[in-house]
Amino acid sequence: MWRERAARCGERIAAEFLMLRGMDVVDRNVRVGRGEIDLVARDRDQVVFIEVKFRTAGGRATALDAVGLKKREDVARAAAGYLSRRGLLDRPVRFDVIGITWRAGGEELLVQHVPNAYPGGRNQFF
């Protein structure tokens, strides 16, 4: 239960972070087949698929380290389905990762945004 709440909190923080940087968040927690896309945004003419990871400090791995190959493939596959269903196959696509780390006893959040974090998308699965 705590994990799910923390994930949703992280997604809200990430969405606000993106909006403050001029991106339009158009979808949240989109299920496509067996996959899920945390956030979908528009940045100028690009459709941006964002994976959000929320962690507490203390471990060696950062939130960004949690987005491995399988997760990237799952998100890319879900993104291809999303684009197809919404008639957006002709739009440029980007995959971003936002890592949020809760530090210093919960008094500080570190937000790391990695645009173009990995390749993927419709050409990989169509």
Residue 37 has pLDDT above 60, yes or no: yes
Cα distances from 105 to residues 2, 14, 59, 110, in angstroms, run 16, 20, 14, 13
pLDDT at residue 1 in the model = 65
Assessment of whether the complete model's pTM goes beyond 0.75? yes
The residue type of 75 is V
- The domains found in the chain, sorted by start residue, are 2-121 (3.40.1350.10)
How confident is the prediction for the chain on average, in pLDDT?
86
pLDDT at residue 125 in the model = 44
Bridge partners for 36 per DSSP? 31
User: What tens digit of pLDDT does each residue of 63-122 get?
Assistant: 667 788 888 889 999 999 999 999 999 999 999 999 988 776 667 888 999 999 888 754
Show the beta-strand stretches assigned E in 7-125. 24-32, 35-43, 46-56, 93-103, 108-114
% of the chain with per-residue pLDDT over 70: 83
